[in-house]
Amino acid sequence: MTALVALIAAAVPFVVTGIGSLFVTVNESLLNDSGIPRGEFDAALAAAGMTMAQFGQAVRVMGVVFLVLALVWIALAVAAFLGAAGARIALIVLLVLYGIPLLLIMLIGGQPVFAVLVVGVAAAGVALLFGRPAKEWYAARKLGGASRS
């Protein structure tokens, strides 16, 4: 149960970010309020060959990607909780494929505490799925299911 809670907790910030990106309007006032130096932002947009509208669309697309990955993570966590061994393996793969790069990006982006917390909680949840108590719990559930048949 602790593993399920940890895995879902690790996904919540990405669900919130994904939903939030769908409703935020990226415009001049948002940039001014965020404290991003305007000259640097305009230079980065020009270097990328993007307009403000395209940047706003990219924010929404990235938010949808975050949301979808977070929902897949939660679905796999629930499947693992229900006993699907493949879901436990898939969680390891996702943790390595997305967790480590995410950690590096967030560390570079200046959010080290948040990055370590989110990836650490996710890793702890995955580790708990493979611990002795989890193995015993899965075995007991299989025995219980076999005796009902």
Q: How many CB atoms lie within 10 A of CB 128?
A: 17
3-state per-residue secondary structure call for 22-84: HHCCCCHHHHHHHCCCHHHHHHHHHHHCCCHHHHHHHHHHHHHHHHHHHHHHHHHHHHHHCCC
Instruction: Determine the pLDDT at residue 149.
Output: 47
pLDDT, tens digit, for every residue of 76-114? 999 999 888 889 999 999 988 888 887 787 777 777 788
- Ranges of residues in the chain whose predicted pLDDT is under 70: 144-149
